[in-house]
Amino acid sequence: MEEEKYGNHLKFEFGEGDETILILSHFDTVWEPGDLEFKIEGDRAYGPGILDMKGGLVQAIWAIKAIKELNIPFSKNIVYLFTSEEEISSPTSRYVIEEIAEDCDYALVTEPPVVRTIAES
């Protein structure tokens, strides 16, 4: 889904069934490129957006991958939407989300709960 100003939104769909699940994630961060370096120290990862949405985004992708590869019976349609500008209040994706959500029975937003984070540059 092309969005010139803030970056494209991505949407994919799979499954069959009478009900549809919307999975919603964003892949943007607050930080400008280069502000914070990505690094791994021991068993911890540090970098822009590492705690925000990215963990849930990856978990949802791997769950879908497992369903498909293990041929797990799944009687729902899944619409997975990745947006590019949630951190700036979703100026274009809000309307996309609302339109898609109208046709969905359930929604799963992969945003984690608010936790204390520390930003060091």
Q: Is position 28 annotated as part of the catalytic site?
A: yes
Exactly one of 86, 103, 105, 120 is catalytic; name it. 86
Instruction: Give the phi and the psi of residue 65 in degrees, each rounded to 5.
Output: -60, -45
Instruction: Give the phi and the psi of residue 13 in degrees, each rounded to 5.
Output: -135, 145
Q: Is position 86 annotated as part of the catalytic site?
A: yes
* Residue 3, token pair as written in the block: 């969005």
Exactly one of 4, 18, 28, 98 is catalytic; name it. 28
* Residue 31, token pair as written in the block: 């930080």
Catalytic residues: 28, 86
